[in-house]
Structure 1
Amino acid sequence: MKLVVRVKLLPTPLQAAALEATLHACNEAATWAASVAFENETRRPLELRKHTYAEIRERWGLGAQAAQHAIKKTCDAYTTLKANLRNGRYGRPSSRRHARASGKPVVFRPQAAQPYDDRMLSWQHQAHTVSIWTTAGRLKGVAFTGQAEQLEVLAAHRKGESDLLFRDGKWFLIATCEIPEGDLNTHPDGFLGVDLGIVNIAATSDGERHSGRRINRKREQDRKLRSKLQKKNTKSAKRRAKKHAGKEARRNKDINHKISRRIVAEAERTGRGIALETLTGIRERARLRKPQRTTLHSWPFAQLGSFIAYKAKKAGVPVVYVDPAYTSQECSQCHHTARGNRPSQAVFACRVCGFVDHADHNASHNIRQRGWMVWVCGAQSTAPELNLIA
């Protein structure tokens, strides 16, 4: 199982200048290669290499491996663009947005991440330093730091490429690690159903609720502050906005980590699997009042689901995905389904058998039951291949 660990680099001013020059050179080369690929309609690494490799090395002074990675990065960007166009990410083919996205070459930011392989980067874990290639020569003794748990994972399981990243005035290395999976529990003692929502971020069939009211109030304050600073548009407002940039995303990520950790730990302790909703189209399915739409569209539901999935895979807990249709309207006791079963957002009251429960708990019971049926039919645990744990 692949995970990603992010460590912070602590370069000296001279080392930082060399790293910055290297990123600029690599991204300029990649942007030029992208224009060549666009003009010649050459999107595969081997073909594009014939048109660009020699000139990239000569014009920007990149080493052999750096030039190869710049070309591959260009091809990967076009592959992603093609997939996004096909999936409707840029609207319909006849729309202006689609035409703008497909009608010009890909451009890389000067400080976009650059991949490094083991020929360009070596780790000294005991000394907490790295040796890294730059256009100014190889830098040795560049210090790095991180949480103890993450550094242990990095030292024991790092495998593959690492990305050099500059963000908010700080340098990072994002390393890929191959983590051994836990022995899958092939005979779970039932399933723990998890219902995802807004008022309650997650509600389990055991009766546990992870409330989102306090979090949503804080997020609303952040949005108002961000809007106020954008309208003010002064230098001090821009500095303050930059300082708070990403704060909400970091908070959301931390909350998702804590919730997913508790859910997986409970399932592992009781020998059960986890049943989750299929998240595809969750924003299109939900029908909400206008004030709630921003909250829905800004909460990273997919991130929470992926955190649960990879933590469960690491612990050997089976995970199944079920169709979420009508789980909030179906009675978990008699299975009568009707919109009238939900007299309010928080209350479920079956009109046939009279069963009354919290609406999210009732939905989680339905997800639990559907998860068991999916498992009986032979579904396997599925989890994303790559997740960020730092």
Structure 2
Amino acid sequence: MKLVVRVKLLPTPIEAAALEATLHACNEAATWAASVAFETEARRPLELRKHTYAEIRVRWQLGAQAAQHASKKTCDAYTTLKANLRNGRYGRPGTKRHTRASGKPVAFRPQAAQPYDDRLLSWQHEQQTVSIWSTAGRLKGVAFTGQGGQLAVLAGHRQGESDLVCQGGKWFLIATCEIPEAAPNAHPAGFLGVDLGIVNIAATSDGARHCGRRINRKREQDRQLRSKLQKKQTKSARRRAKKYAGKEARRNKDINHKISKRIVAGAERTGRGIALEDLKGIRERARLRKPQRVKIHSWPFAQLGAFIAYKAKRAGVPAVSVDPAYTSQECSQCHHTARGNRPAQAYFACRVCGFVDHADHNASHNIAHRGWMAWVCGARSTAPELTLIA
């Protein structure tokens, strides 16, 4: 199972300047290589390297490994672009957005992430330092820090390349770790249903609701401030909006981590699995009023599902995805489905058997039942494994 660990570098001002110059040189070289790949249609590393390797070595004074990474990084970017175009990420073919994305070479930001392999980067875990290549020479003894659990995972399970990134003037190394999975629970004693929603981010069949008025008020304040800054269209407003967007994303990510941790811990403690809604395509098929559209787009539900999936896999808790259609209108007791069963957002009252419950809790019970049926039928699909430990 792959996890990504991010540690913070603590370079001196001279070391930071050398790292910044390295990122700029590597990304300039990759941008030039991307233009060559666009003109020659050489989109594979070995093929592109024949056109760019010697020029990159001479023009940007990069080492052999760094020059090869520039070509590989360019090819990976074109592979990602091709997949996004195929999946409709930039709209339909022929639209302005699709034409703009496919009709010009890929370009890299001056401080875009740069991959480092073991020839360019070595770790000294006991001293908590790294030796890292730069255009100014090898930088030895650069200190790094992180949480104890992160550093233990990094020391014991790091594999492959690490990425050097600069975010807000701070330097980080992002390393991929391959950790062993816990023995999966092949005989769960039922499933914990998780209903995702707008008012309550997550409601479980145990009766827990993960949200609260404070979070909803903060989400509304974020939306109002974002709208206010977007209307101003000044340079300072755009700068502030960008800064605040990062803060909002970090807060949402922290909340998703906490919610997913509680859900997985509850399922693991009781020997159950987790049943999640399959929300793929929810934005296209959901018919919502305009205020609701803003709210459903303002929360990273896919991120929450990914966090639950990887934490469940790490703990050996089975996780399945189920079809969420009509779970809010179906009675969890007699399974009668009707639109009139839900007269209000938070209220559910079955018109046949008279069962009354909170609407989100009733939906979570239906999801738990569908999860059990999916498990019995052998449909054991999970959300993506890869995520960040933050």
Conservation of the 8 A alpha-carbon contact between 1:328 and 1:360? yes
Aligned mates of 1:277, 1:224 — CA distance in 2 = 29
2:178 match: 178
Q: Corresponding residue for 2:201?
A: 201
Is 1:244 the counterpart of 2:244 in the alignment? yes
CA contact under 8 A between 2:263 and 2:308: conserved in structure 1?
A: yes
Question: What is residue 112 of structure 1 aligned with on the other side?
Answer: 112
Residue 233 to residue 100, structure 1, CA distance change in 2 (3 Å): closer
Can you list the C-alpha shifts for 1:237-283, whole angstroms capped at 9, x where unaligned? 56655553411111101110111001000100000000011120122
CA distance in 1 between partners of 2:230 and 2:94 (Å): 33
What is the identity, as a one-letter code, of the residue corresponding to 2:101? A
* Cα contact 1:216–1:295 (8 A) shared by 2: no
Q: Displacement of 1:163 after TM fit?
A: 0.4
What's 1:91 paired with?
91
TM-score scaled by length of structure 2: 0.96
Inter-partner Cα distance in structure 1 for 2:212 and 2:63 = 50
Post-superposition offset of 1:289: 2.0
- Which amino acid is the alignment partner of residue 200 of structure 1? N
2:3 maps to: 3
Q: Within 1, Cα distance between the matches of 2:145 and 2:90? A: 39
Q: Which moved more, 1:338-347 or 1:210-219?
A: 210-219
Give the aligned length: 390
Distance, in Å, in 1 between the alignment partners of 2:93 and 2:233 is: 36
For 1:238 and 1:97, the matched residues in 2 are separated by 22
Are residues 1:322 and 2:322 paired? Answer: yes
What residue in structure 2 maps to residue 77 of structure 1?
Answer: 77
- The structural deviation recorded for 1:212 is 4.6
The residue aligned with 2:348 is: 348
Separation in 1, partners of 2:242, 2:342:
43
Structure 1 counterpart of 2:122: 122
Secondary structure of the corresponding residue to residue 293 of structure 2: helix
The corresponding residue for 2:156 is: 156
Query: TM-score, length-normalised on structure 1?
Result: 0.96
Instruction: Look up the match of 2:190.
Output: 190
Alignment map for 1:1-390 (pairs within 5 Å): 1-231=1-231, 240-241=240-241, 243-380=243-380, 382-390=382-390
The alpha carbon displacement at 1:231 in A equals 4.8
Q: Partners in 1 of 2:236 and 2:79 — Cα distance?
A: 40
Whether the aligned pair in 1 keeps the contact of 2:30 and 2:73 (CA below 8 Å) is: yes
Structure 1 counterpart of 2:173, one-letter code: L
1:9 counterpart letter in structure 2 = L
Deviation at 1:153, TM superposition (A): 1.3
Offset, 1:111: 0.5
**1: CA distance, partners of 2:334 / 2:383:** 32
* 8 A Cα contact 2:203 2:210, kept in partner: yes
Tell me the amino acid that sits aligned with residue 316 of structure 2.
G
Alpha-carbon shift at residue 344 of structure 1 (Å)? 0.8
Q: 1:214: how far off? A: 2.2
Structure 1 unpaired stretches of 5+: none
- Name the SS of the counterpart of 2:189 in structure 1: coil
Distance in 2, matches of 1:239 and 1:95, equals 29
Instruction: Render the CA deviation track for 1:217-251: whole Å, top value 9, x for unaligned.
Output: 11221233344445556776566555534111111
Q: String of CA shifts for 1:101-127, please: whole Å, max 9, x gaps.
A: 110000000100000011100111111
Distance 1:242 1:330, change over 3 A: closer
Once the two structures are overlaid, the 10-residue window that deviates more, 324-333 or 187-196, is: 324-333
Report percent identity of matched pairs: 86
Amino acid at match of 1:15: E
- 2:112 and 2:64 map into 1 onto residues whose CA distance is 19
Other structure's SS at 1:176 match: strand
SS of alignment partner, residue 251 of structure 2:
helix
Distance 1:213 1:380, change over 3 A: same
Structure 1 pair 89/51, CA: closer, same or farther in 2 (3 Å)?
Answer: same
Given that residues 328 and 359 in structure 2 are in contact (C-alpha distance below 8 angstroms), is that contact kept between their aligned partners in structure 1? yes
For residues 103 and 237 of structure 2, what CA distance do their matches in structure 1 show? 36
- Residues 179 and 381 of structure 1, relative CA distance in 2, 3 Å threshold: farther
Distance in 2 (CA, whole Å) between partners of 1:239 and 1:30 is 27
Q: State how far apart, in whole Å, the 2-side matches of 1:373 and 1:351 are.
A: 25
* TM-aligned CA distance change 1:12 to 1:270, over 3 Å: same
Distance change >3 Å, CA 40–CA 239, structure 1 → 2: closer
Letter in 1 for 2:84: N
Contact 2:348 2:356 in 1 (8 A): yes
For 1:385 and 1:68, the matched residues in 2 are separated by: 28
